[in-house]
Amino acid sequence: IVHYGDACLSALTENVPVKFVFGSLPVDITAFGNVRNYLTKDASVPVLLLTDAYCSEKIDELETVVRQVIPEGQPFFRADIVDPSHANDPTTYDGKVCSLGRLLPQKFCDALAAQVCFVGDPSSPLIPLWLMTYPQCTSLVSFNPQTSTIEEHTFCYPWLNEMNFWQCKWSCDW
C-alpha cells in the first residue's frame, strides 16, 4: 500500500507493507524566526519542537532557530517522525519513546510542564491527540507554514487533576 498525504502514524502496520508519501511544503525559516516573541523565557520549562509530517524534513533548520531564541540551558526536545522501515530496530529507541509516530526523549515524558512549538497546519488532528496524550503541555505556539502566521494557546490542566481527585474522593465516600 502506498499512503499519500497526512497520516496519524499512531500505530505502524506489521502485516501489510506500507510506504508513506508525505510530500514537503516550503517553510519560511525567516518568518519562523518570529517564534522568539512567543516562546517561553522561563528556562525551567522545556520546549518541544513538533512538526506535521509534511514539514518534518525541515526539522534541523527549525531546531537551529529555536535553540537560538530560547535561553541557554533551557531544556529542548524534538519529536522526530518514525521511519516505518526502521520501526522494529531497537537501537532507534535507545532512551526514547515512540508515540503518535514520533520518537521523543523519555525526559520529555517525565517533564512536569512543557511548551510545544508546532510547525504545520493549525487544524492538524495531531494537535489534540498530542495534547491529550501529553497533558504536561501547558502551552502551544503554532507556526502555519502556508500563511507564515503564529498563534499562541495556553492551557490550564491543574483543574483536571483537582477534578479527578474529587471524583475519586466522592466515589470512595459512597
List the domain boundaries for the chain: 2-156
Task: Give per-residue pLDDT as tens, 27-50.
Answer: 999 999 999 999 999 999 999 999
pTM, to two decimals: 0.81
Q: What angle do CA 8, 60, 67 make, to 5 degrees?
A: 110
Dist CA 108 CA 76 (whole Å):
9
Q: Which fold has domain 2-156?
A: Rossmann fold (3.40.50)
Between CA 115 and CA 137 the distance in angstroms is: 6
Using DSSP's 3-state secondary structure scheme, residue 2 falls into strand
Each residue's pLDDT tens digit, 93-112: 778 888 888 889 999 998 99
* CA proximity to 2, closest of 15, 21, 16: 21
